[in-house]
Chains A and B, each alone.
Chain A
Amino acid sequence: GENVEQHPSTLSVQEGDSAVIKCTYSDSASNYFPWYKQELGKGPQLIIDIRSNVGEKKDQRIAVTLNKTAKHFSLHITETQPEDSAVYFCAPNRPGSGNTPLVFGKGTRLSVIA
């Protein structure tokens, strides 16, 4: 099955600095790469995703980059704000029969210090 690793597990940054979280995966057939944000007391929510025919995607202060050759994708948050403090998860998806469990990274706890 898919092996997914996420680094770092915790990250503290000063408000206004940038944060980068990396997700590596093992299944070269994966072709959909989402990032989810989980705030305290809530379920994860999609914040950005990318598909395998695109190398980078931006949405205001958030961006995702993909390196299919090296099998990793990264979440970039610029000009961090206190409300970015949360746990972030990656979950690379593969196509196929659909009979494959979905594997999430173990999460990165981001703390933005005001």
Chain B
Amino acid sequence: EAQVTQNPRYLITVTGKKLTVTCSQNMNHEYMSWYRQDPGLGLRQIYYSMNVEVTDKGDVPEGYKVSRKEKRNFPLILESPSPNQTSLYFCASSPGVGRGRAWYNSPLHFGNGTRLTVT
């Protein structure tokens, strides 16, 4: 089944304790991205990646890191989490230019989310 898998679904941690949220897709998509969702603010893009070893900042990258060493995986890293990073996080992927359709003209496929609480 074609899907984007995020883990964990729920995570409670304390300020300053490094954590990683994993994201994996099995559709051979070139484009992957991370979003946070907060009440009243909708979905805001944190980082995105056009291809392996290529990552770019979204609108709210502060406090986050990502890596794209393999096409299928795009982990989100919080080196020193703070309470203002308490949020619902989504990973998404989309086909890339390699298939003749630019990512910006293709639908995003989302994971089911990771609810993070930082105390």
Contacts and interface: CB of A to CB of B under 8 A. Distances in A.
Give the size range of A's interface with the partner.
Answer: 20 to 34
B40 interface: yes
A32 B105 contact: yes
Nearest to B9: A41
Given A31-B105, A34-B107, A46-B107, A103 B59 contact: yes
A101 B112 contact: no
9 contacts: A32-B106, A42-B113, A51-B105, A95-B104, A99-B56, A101-B48, A104-B35, A104-B44, A107-B42
Given A42-B112, A44-B108, A107-B42, 13 more contacts: A31-B105, A43-B92, A43-B110, A46-B108, A89-B42, A93-B105, A98-B104, A101-B56, A101-B59, A102-B45, A103-B59, A104-B44, A106-B42
Interface of B: 4, 33, 35, 40-45, 48, 50, 56-59, 90, 92, 97, 102-108, 110-113
